[in-house]
Amino acid sequence: MPAIAPPPVRRVTIEEIRAARERIRGVITRTPLIRLRHDVAGAPEIWLKLENLQPINAFKIRGAANAVAMLDADARSKGVWTISAGNAGQGVAYAAREAGIPCTVLVIETAPETKIERMRALGAKLVKAPFDACWNAMEARAFPGIEGTFVHPFDEHDFIAGNATVGLEILEDLPDVKTVIAAIGGGGLTTGIGSAIKALAPHVRVLGAEPETAAPGAKSFAAHSPQVFDEWQASFVDGAGGKSIFPRMWERISAVVDGSIVVTLNEVKSAIRLVASKTRVIAEGAGALGVAAALKEKEGPVVAVVSGGNIDLKKFCEIIG
């Protein structure tokens, strides 16, 4: 199938973010912001934005609900499809089910079985493919044999506007926040949060967090241009960390995000254990990235966005054990 040209990149406005919040209010959960009493020497005051408490246990429902709600009747009549390691697929499938339209998900074949089962339970038709094929399909916005209206899992204006509602809630609940940190996968979450926060509180730092095995964001900030991460490796941090930052996403991210912190896989595991121990909250690998990065900061308050909790429980037990 030929590649589909995406619309030009433009900045998400605060008016669009506020409209998205009203649009998705009946679908999403306004998640709590809680203090992490970590007892880690030298670490700052840290708060957790618990997006793992969403109906799909991940923030992606915000962007998906807004993107699907914004589709016109013709687009809806064709059904929707997306590409995912699990959380975006759940978000689009959930929103599609609520709207009564069919959904197909092109699934990265290394996706955890937990996420695959959840997408299937939401009524999505699943097509599996290798990571590289899925990553290429994200750029082409097409995949052989899949028809329908494509909802991009991160490079989608309305998806980002939905994600940005996280930023509104953080500022309302913690007005004196100094830094907000969230995982970078494709960049849709950090771009959304940054869009809201820079519009209302431009002095607040917005940072990404990436695992050492997949950190194109940090590489891109260092080079001041979108970069490919040649040392990419698959890991249990499956919901974040890509092989590159798409040029279109770099245009979005670089305007509203201040940098990205790289953490080791062991630091992510420690963050998962810390969050479980202190708050009895389950964070998946990507969900713990922000916590691991926040522990490296010197000045608070810092908000770490726990972007999801869809980790295979067997893997979770292995990590905390």
pLDDT in tens, 94-144: 999 999 999 999 998 888 888 899 999 999 999 999 988 998 998 899 999
Q: Among the three residues 154, 176, 192, which one is the final residue of a domain in this structure?
A: 154
Q: Are residues 51 and 97 in the same domain?
A: no
Q: Strand 33-36 relative to strand 205-211: parallel, antiparallel, unpaired?
A: unpaired
Predicted confidence (pLDDT) per residue in 5-51, tens digit: 788 899 999 999 999 999 999 999 999 999 999 999 999 999 999 99
Tally of domains in the chain: 2
Residues contacting 273, CB < 8 A, separation 6+:
319, 320
Q: Are residues 171 and 71 in the same domain?
A: no
2 belongs to a structural domain: no
Q: Where are the alpha helices (DSSP H) in the chain?
A: 14-24, 60-69, 73-77, 87-99, 113-121, 131-140, 157-163, 165-173, 188-200, 216-223, 247-256, 265-279, 285-294, 313-320
pLDDT recorded at residue 85: 82
Q: Are residues 307 and 225 in the same domain?
A: yes
Q: Are residues 142 and 221 in the same domain?
A: no
Q: Are residues 185 and 208 in the same domain?
A: yes
67 pLDDT tier (thresholds 50, 70, 90): very high
Q: How far apart are CA 7 and CA 13, in angstroms?
A: 16
The DSSP-derived string for 74-108 is: HHHHT-EEEEESSHHHHHHHHHHHHHT--EEEEEE
Q: Are residues 176 and 288 in the same domain?
A: yes
| Residue 206 near residue 261 (C-beta atoms within 8 A) | no
pLDDT recorded at residue 3: 62
pLDDT recorded at residue 177: 98
Task: Name the 3-class secondary structure at 23.
Answer: helix
pLDDT recorded at residue 249: 95
Q: Are residues 194 and 219 in the same domain?
A: yes
Q: How far is the CA of 198 from the CAs of 110, 117, 263, in angstroms?
A: 35, 37, 25
- Write out the two tokens for 71: 């589709």
pLDDT recorded at residue 238: 85
- Write out the two tokens for 2: 């030929």
- Choose among 52, 114, 58, 111: nearest CA to 83: 111
Mean pLDDT across the stretch 54-70? 95
- Choose among 233, 236, 210: nearest CA to 221: 210
Q: Among the three residues 113, 129, 154, which one is the final residue of a domain in this structure?
A: 154
Q: Are residues 52 and 169 in the same domain?
A: yes
Q: Among the three residues 154, 186, 205, which one is the final residue of a domain in this structure?
A: 154
Instruction: Check pLDDT > 60 for residue 278.
Output: yes
| Residue 52 near residue 204 (C-beta atoms within 8 A) | no
| Residue 81 near residue 124 (C-beta atoms within 8 A) | no
Phi, psi angles (nearest 5°) of residue 303: -105, 125
pLDDT cut 70: percent of the chain above it: 99
1 pLDDT tier (thresholds 50, 70, 90): low
pLDDT recorded at residue 2: 58
* Domain boundaries, position 82: 61-154
Q: How far apart are CA 45 and CA 201, in angstroms?
A: 19
Tell me, what CATH number does 26's domain have?
3.40.50.1100
Q: Are residues 78 and 138 in the same domain?
A: yes
Sheet holding 46-50, edge to edge: 33-36, 46-50, 302-306, 179-183, 205-211, 259-263
pTM, two decimal places? 0.93
Predicted confidence (pLDDT) per residue in 193-231, tens digit: 999 999 999 999 999 999 999 999 999 999 999 999 999
